[in-house]
């Protein structure tokens, strides 16, 4: 057609061009980087607003002998000064217990030397050697003179007292514990060779200290080598899980601490824990990993997806795990797909997309739906294979994907609406068949409603989707071909004022999107009525605000449209 309009499927554009088009002109090249920046930015939002980047451990791990905290055990009304005093006293008792252990060691050594002296006096060398080999030494050489069981019991008691203060207080007295010198003591209590009960209590204390303020979390740096070491196979699963929790809290604090953890080798043992068949262990490890790999450096994400068994574990847990574990695994997928092109390529070619769509359709759990939807949006935005070869029109997976996105568009939750609109906009930037599928679906009323009533960020994503439904790429540098029936239906449905409001916004990207849609209307609406429709909604005034704008691209675009469609000949028959 002479005006560049089209009402049928275009035949000239390649499949790669279909994947992204001019209304969202930069998306094909920048979608993944935009999504990467978005994923990093929402990291803090994700954990603080939804799940918290750092978590206080208030209940014992599954499988622990510790009695679960009763509802009435939480310390709420205690005065801050009293709580801090009790905390300082608990730390002093930690010191005392270690001192007792040290004295016991000296006493044991003294007793042993005493016995050896007696033996040397009474035995010749041959007899002494035989006594060592046959373990016929005096019992004093086998057991500490001070009674080791009593000292060990005391250490557990004082650790538990501090841990209870740090886990059962409404506002844990982390600062008081640090000021009293708890960190170096807890590092000593975390030494290999200690009982599992002692290691668990020490790691639990460190976990909750790490859940404190930024500077408090940073105080754990001396403990990191031992916490990471206990992730290995030499430690029990319970100890490893508690240490993973502590490491997850540290990783959630920021990029600097993540770099330290990665440099000290935390990634591989955490990945091994995520492969565990024990649900709570896999869940804790997945949560810690999602904090550890979330960037901004993509190196960790690239390394994680290359670890043998990781992708299979993701698939297994998305398919069969309970919603809590599936939620944490989905967050791992969020950051893998946001940061690593290698990971995205592997994920879209696996069963993960189908599993994500299945979870999105079946669940009503907001904590699960958000990372599942965000993962799906990442995959659609970052890899053309997802739209071109997975979400093929006519396949059941595509119908399920569309149904799940419509469900989220209709949700009362703003995050779901925004993420669903984002994912839909990238599917709408696919082939002509994808555009027709969305246009004929129940998504349209929801998108039109969001464009005019939703919060600004949601309106922008809905506008991208509606704009993408109206065009197909023309190739080279030509303006996109217009799908006239889609454009007419969207304009007649009341979308034009919403796009003009975008032109008026302070956000340059949104204003540019609005101008691009106005260009489509003025160029492609039948019978040359487009300019009149734009004028009727005060579109000229909206465009003229860019007449002297500092952004040259926007200035030229707006002025060019005004000159072309509202010049000297405008209104003349």
Residues 323-355 pLDDT 10s: 999 999 999 999 999 999 999 999 999 999 999
- Among 39-48, 242-251, 485-494, which is the least confidently predicted range? 39-48
pLDDT of residue 529: 95
- Among 164-168, 279-283, 415-419, which is the least confidently predicted range? 164-168
Tell which residue, 468, 554, 389, has the closest CA to residue 21: 468
pLDDT of residue 68: 54
> Residue 329 and residue 538: Cα distance in Å, rounded?
49
Q: Which CATH class is domain 83-98+149-264?
A: mainly alpha
| DSSP string of 110-153, one letter each residue | HHHHHHHHHHHHHS-HHHHHHHHHTT-S-GGGTS-TT-HHHHHH
Q: Does the structure show a pLDDT above 60 at 303? A: yes
Which residues neighbour 543 within 8 Å (Cβ) at sequence distance 6 or greater? Answer: 503, 515, 518, 558, 559, 561, 562
pLDDT of residue 525: 97
The residue that leads in pLDDT, 382 or 359, is: 359
Q: Do 432 and 9 meet the contact criterion of CB atoms below 8 Å apart?
A: yes
- Find the mean pLDDT for residues 235-255: 95
What's the pLDDT band for 56 if we cut at 50, 70, 90? confident
pLDDT of residue 65: 64
Q: Do 271 and 310 meet the contact criterion of CB atoms below 8 Å apart?
A: yes
Q: Does the structure show a pLDDT above 80 at 296? A: yes
> Residue 97 and residue 398: Cα distance in Å, rounded?
63
pLDDT in tens, 426-441: 999 999 999 999 999 9
Q: Does the structure show a pLDDT above 70 at 21? A: no
Instruction: Tell me the average pLDDT of the chain.
Output: 83
CB atoms within 10 A of CB 450: 25
Share of the chain above pLDDT 70, in %: 79
- Among 60-74, 221-235, 267-281, 475-489, which is the least confidently predicted range? 60-74
List residues bridging with 169 in a β-sheet: 75
Record the tokens describing residue 165, joined without a space. 């203060």
Q: Does the structure show a pLDDT above 90 at 151? A: no
List residues bridging with 481 in a β-sheet: 472
What's the pLDDT band for 23 if we cut at 50, 70, 90? low
pLDDT of residue 433: 96
């Amino acid at each position: 057609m002479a005006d560049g309009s089209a009402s049928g499927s275009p035949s000239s554009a390649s499949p790669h061009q279909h994947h992204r088009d001019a209304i969202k002109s930069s998306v094909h090249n920048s979608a993944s980087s935009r999504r990467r920046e978005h994923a990093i930015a929402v990291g803090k939002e994700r954990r603080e607003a939804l799940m918290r980047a750092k978590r206080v451990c208030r209940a014992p791990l599954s499988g622990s002998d510790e009695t679960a905290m009763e509802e009435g055990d939480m310390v709420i009304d205690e005065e801050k000064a009293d709580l801090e005093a009790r905390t300082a006293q608990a730390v002093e008792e930690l010191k005392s217990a270690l001192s007792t252990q040290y004295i016991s060691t000296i006493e044991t050594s003294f007793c042993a030397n005493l016995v050896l002296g007696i033996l040397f006096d009474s035995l010749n060398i041959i007899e002494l050697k035989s006594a060592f080999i046959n373990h016929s030494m005096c019992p004093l050489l086998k057991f500490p003179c001070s009674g080791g069981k009593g000292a060990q019991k005391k250490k557990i008691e004082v650790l538990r007292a501090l841990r209870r203060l740090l886990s059962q207080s409404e506002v844990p007295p982390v600062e008081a514990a640090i000021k009293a010198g708890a960190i170096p003591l807890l590092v000593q209590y975390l030494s290999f060779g200690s009982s599992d009960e002692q290691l668990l209590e020490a790691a639990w204390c460190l976990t909750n200290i790490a859940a404190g303020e930024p500077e408090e979390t940073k105080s754990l740096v001396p403990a990191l080598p031992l916490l990471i070491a206990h992730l290995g196979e030499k430690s029990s699963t319970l100890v490893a899980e508690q240490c993973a929790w502590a490491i997850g809290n540290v990783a959630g604090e920021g990029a600097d601490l993540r770099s330290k953890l990665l440099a000290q080798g935390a990634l591989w043992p955490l990945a091994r824990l995520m492969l565990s068949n024990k649900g709570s262990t896999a869940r804790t490890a997945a949560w810690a990993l999602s904090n550890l790999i979330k960037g901004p450096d993509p190196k960790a994400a690239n390394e994680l997806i290359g670890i043998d068994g990781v992708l299979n574990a993701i698939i297994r847990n998305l398919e069969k795990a309970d919603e809590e574990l599936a939620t944490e695994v989905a967050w791992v997928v969020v950051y893998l797909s946001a940061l690593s092109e290698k990971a995205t390529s592997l994920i879209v070619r696996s069963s993960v997309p189908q599993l994500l769509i299945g979870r999105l359709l079946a669940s009503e759990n907001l904590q699960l739906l958000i990372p599942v939807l965000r993962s799906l949006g990442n995959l659609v935005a970052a890899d053309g294979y997802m739209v071109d070869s997975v979400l093929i029109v006519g396949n059941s997976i595509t119908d399920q994907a569309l149904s799940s996105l419509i469900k989220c568009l209709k949700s009362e939750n703003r995050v779901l609406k925004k993420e669903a609109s984002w994912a839909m906009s990238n599917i709408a930037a696919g082939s002509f068949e994808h555009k027709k599928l969305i246009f004929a679906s129940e998504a349209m009323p929801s998108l039109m409603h969001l464009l005019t009533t939703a919060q600004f960020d949601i309106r922008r994503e809905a506008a991208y989707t509606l704009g993408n439904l109206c065009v197909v790429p023309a190739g080279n540098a030509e303006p996109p071909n217009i799908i006239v029936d889609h454009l007419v239906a969207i304009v007649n449905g009341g979308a034009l004022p919403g796009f003009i409001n975008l032109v008026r916004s302070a956000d340059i990207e949104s204003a540019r999107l609005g101008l691009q849609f106005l260009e489509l209307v003025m160029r492609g609406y039948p019978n040359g009525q487009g300019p009149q429709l734009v004028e009727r909604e005060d579109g000229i005034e909206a465009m003229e605000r860019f007449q002297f704008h500092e952004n040259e691209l926007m200035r030229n675009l707006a002025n060019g449209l005004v000159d072309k469609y509202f010049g000297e000949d405008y209104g003349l028959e």
